[in-house]
Amino acid sequence: MSKRILVVEDDYDILCVLTDLLNDEGYEVVGLTYTGSITESVRESRPDLVILDFLLAGVNGGEHCLELKSHPEFSGIPVILMSGFPRFPESFGDFGSDAFIQKPFNIHTVLHVVEVCLADRHELV
């Protein structure tokens, strides 16, 4: 069974690139340009991994990450934060995320980070 990844990215072009890239690697992708409730989106899509852009309309990706990581049902789901700010983790913190990817991203980096996060989750389950 393929792993499911929820991607929340408000830039439609980047969302399409990530969706195509991950689909080509055999992942099932649920892509959203917006979510009003990250817990409802996770509950509906049942992902094995979540990728969040930091700068989103309304609640930012960091706050979504904190919400997931503090939720008893979803705290074990790996979360990858993405941002165009190169010093993001040093400036803002990691919000409890499992990994960080800087934009613009290298596709090999994205695939590697996804694989590592999913492998780490498998070891924990």
Nearest Cα residue to 82 out of 50, 54, 122: 54
Question: Can you read off the two tokens belonging to residue 83?
Answer: 């941002």
> How confident is the model at residue 94, as a pLDDT?
66
Q: How do the pLDDT tens digits run along the chain, 125 residues long?
A: 699 999 999 999 999 999 999 999 999 999 999 999 999 999 999 999 999 998 887 788 889 999 999 999 999 999 999 988 776 555 555 688 999 999 999 999 999 999 999 997 654 43
Name residue 49's beta-bridge partners: 5
> How confident is the model at residue 96, as a pLDDT?
85
> How confident is the model at residue 125, as a pLDDT?
38
State the total domains in the chain: 1
User: Residue 34's domain spans which residues?
Assistant: 4-124
> How confident is the model at residue 84, as a pLDDT?
80
CATH number of domain containing 32: 3.40.50.2300
